[in-house]
Amino acid sequence: MTMKNKVTTAIFPVAGMGTRFLPATKSVPKEIMTLVDRPLIQYAIDEARAAGITEFIFVTSRGKGALEDYFDLAPNLEEELRRKGKTDILKMLEDTNMDSGAIAYIRQHKALGLGHAVWCARRLIGDQPFAVILPDDVISADKPCLQQMVEAYEETGGNMVAAMEVAPERTSSYGILDVENTDGNLLEVRSMVEKPSAGEAPSNLAVIGRYILAPSVLKNLDQMKRGAGGEIQLTDAIAEDLEQNRKVYGYRFQGQRFDCGSKSGFLQATVAYGLARPELRDDLADYLKSIVPGL
């Protein structure tokens, strides 16, 4: 590994409006919504930490105060738990504490798109590669997805996006890759297109919310080009790197991804993560069997 390929900073774009979860998202940021007993953002932070990330940049917007509060220490609560001898809960809570100064918050003043949200963090990114994690993509994996990617990236450099196959009728909801090779985990990308219209997708390999990007992508975003849906798209800025002969890799990760930005995906994740908890498994499985005959 060269120092150039070491990734220690991650951007978490959390400035979207979360319209699919209205009315809840009128007052609760989507990233604070709870999967079993942890907010979505905690899963994303845990994954980043496992991958060696030490600097966390949140791109937030109006109404995301609860997210910032979540990362404050809770000394009164901790003291109370200590007094009551609830050491397990105390330990779990302490594990969520962040080092002072490890988190930076930047505002995206207008929801102009994911590319724009990432660009808002440009002054905090030097000339090192950085990760981008979308907390609404929750990935259950033995080795956390970003860690898999960071390990691969240490060998490749360039840019890397998480990739997975989606049903052909779903390609118009994703960034889609055109790749040189389709075997193995590491796919060399020829081109990529955001939300291709039906029949125009070059494959059914979709980009999922984990990226490792070179600072050149931020430069490309300087142009503020509007793409699919009139938004400033991250996919377009990565595709521009390809045009400038820089490499982009798709990484086919091991693990199951849940689209917690959608109601159905969130419900599926709730069931899967509930069943994965030893203390909940039997009750939940019994209930599911009772309402779904033949399960």
Binding site for ligand UTP (CB under 6 A): 13-20, 30, 59, 108, 111-114, 116-117, 134, 136, 261
Considering beta carbons, is residue 18 or 144 the nearer one to ligand UTP? 18
Q: Are strands 103-107 and 159-165 parallel, antiparallel or unpaired?
A: unpaired
What Å distances lie between residue 230 and 114, 200, 207, CA to CA? 12, 19, 19
Output the smallest distance, CB 51 to ligand UTP, in A.
18
Give the nearest distance from C-beta 231 to ligand UTP in angstroms: 7
Which are the contacts of 127, defined by CB distance < 8 A and separation ≥ 6? 215
Cβ nearer to ligand UTP, comparing 61 with 274:
61
How far apart are CB 232 and ligand UTP at their closest, in Å? 8
Q: How far is the CB of 42 from ligand UTP (least distance, A)?
A: 15
Helix ranges restricted to H, the chain: 40-50, 65-70, 75-83, 87-95, 114-119, 145-156, 216-221, 234-243, 263-275, 278-291
Tell me if 188 sits within 8 A of 281, measured CB to CB: no
In the bound state with ligand UTP, the residue whose beta carbon lies nearer, of 11 and 205, is 11
Specify the residue, 49 or 64, whose C-beta has the smaller distance to ligand UTP.
Answer: 64
What's the closest the beta carbon of residue 234 comes to ligand UTP, in angstroms?
A: 9
Q: Which residue is nearest to ligand UTP (CB)?
A: 16
C-alpha 19/C-alpha 8 separation (Å) is 32
